[in-house]
Amino acid sequence: MEKIRIVGGRPLEGTVRISGAKNASLPELCAALLTDQQLTLGNVPEVRDIRTMGRVLAALGAEVEFRVGGEVELRAGSLTSVEAPYELVKTMRASVLVLGPLVAREGRARVSLPGGCAIGARPIDLHLMALEKMGATIAVEHGYVEARAERLRGAEISFDTVTVTGTENVMMAACLADGQTVLRNAACEPEVEDLATLLGAMGARIEGAGTSTLRVEGVERLAGASHRVIPDRIETGTYVAACAIAGGEIEIRHCQPNHLRAVIDKLRETGVRIEEGPDNLRVRAPRVLRPANVTTQPYPGFPTDMQAQYMALMTQAEGASTMTETIFENRFMHVAELARMGASVRENGRTAIVTGPTPLSGAQVMATDLRASASLVLAGLAASGETVVDRIYHLDRGYYRIDEKLRGLGADIERLA
Ligand code: UD1
């Protein structure tokens, strides 16, 4: 199994280029199922989850071609299957994003239930509730969800909890439904908005993207389109935090600072100097890092996908800070590993209390999920001596060549086979 070895203590300098957003690309690849014409996506990050989604779509009969430079061409002329099998769904929960498009286009879908994952139970009940309201018959048996509908019809749907992939699934289904669908308490994440932009280019009629109320007027058919994926805001935030913890000054290019407001504001509060350009950031680490509390929230709040990296940073702040996780019930898996490197973190239910600064010392640590792995890499940059992060396939699911990008910024980091 591949590992990453880091020797800490080197400040970062130079320029890093941000890749396209994984969590925008995943639903956008699935949007190809809504039309028999060609969809071309640009700026798709070449990470493992994207390849997995390519396999899911190919298993349904879509033609998927990855070109160098992040371009993907997809054509779902006619589908040969409506089933997303367990073997693929278990490796990536986002496979459930084929559900809405398949029911809308084919009138039928069979998708393996994703089950729990490292960060919590993560049910899909809200996706199913919404499709049922749109007239689908849902059966759950043998570990699969089976949904059927002659033609979905528009409905008024109100989500109890903000759900990102739930909003995306239902928004895609509503594009081909009969009549108007209104989604309330919809996710406002930039990835949802970007998907709506793509669907709009395909001929969908969607209003309110980026707000909590979405109105979708169903159409008979959608056409092909070309679309460039937005930059990855979580990858961007991770490099801001990397510079803050390692020291130094870096430039982050090809990013979208507007999508990162909560993270930029919070890091400025801790003393990190951040200058914003239209599509770039200049980050300078402070001499003294101040503690600041965060509570994770749906967008535009502080993202749960940045909580672990922020915690690594707070181990170096002058004083105590709290991280309160409100989105997932079990997202402190990185605490035990950070503690093995010398961090002082106490867990109290959904809050972690970090007392800093504690010197970190390099250790062998294990990645448990995507963002937890990133937090261990950040800790390794600040630690004395050598840190070896095991199970980095988690990192490769969502970060394009993080070892190369950090090495480009002067970090002493290498991948061990
Ligand atoms: C997406 C992101 C993930 C991010 C998360 C929260 C993708 C591929 N993944 O995940 O990186 O961490 O948003 O920003 O975009 N819930 C239910 N019932 C449902 C659906 C969700 O109870 O049917 C709950 C979940 O258990 C969780 C909360 O709602 O507590 C938010 O989950 P959700 O927004 O759906 O996360 P994902 O879309 O899976």
**Amino acid letter for position 114:** P
Residue with tokens 């639903």: 27
Any ligand 1 atom below 6 A from CB of 125? yes
Q: Which atom of ligand 1 is nearest to the CA of 299?
A: 14
Any ligand 1 atom below 6 A from CB of 301? no
Ligand 1 centroid from CA 167, angstroms: 10
pLDDT for the residue 60: 97
117 flagged as catalytic:
yes
CB 297 within 8 A of CB 161: no
State whether residue 309 is helix, strand or coil: helix
Any ligand 1 atom below 6 A from CB of 164? yes
Ligand 1 pocket test, candidate residues 50, 163, 194, most atoms within 8 A of CB:
163
Tell whether pTM > 0.85. Answer: yes
What separation in angstroms does the CA of 400 have from each of 17, 43, 238, 392? 10, 12, 12, 12
d(CA 10, CA 20): 27
Find the helix packing angle between 164-175 and 99-106, rounded to 10°: 10
For the chain, list residues with pLDDT below 50. none
> In 3D, which of 238, 172, 226 has the Cα closest to residue 398?
238
Any ligand 1 atom below 6 A from CB of 23? yes
Beta strands per DSSP E along 245-350 = 248-253, 273-276, 280-284, 294-295, 319-324, 344-348
Ligand 1 centroid from CA 311, angstroms: 21
Ligand 1 centroid from CA 53, angstroms: 17
Q: From the candidates 117, 175, 188, 255, give the one annotated as an active-site residue.
A: 117
pLDDT for the residue 118: 66
Burial class (CB in 10 A: 0-12, 13-18, 19+), 187: buried
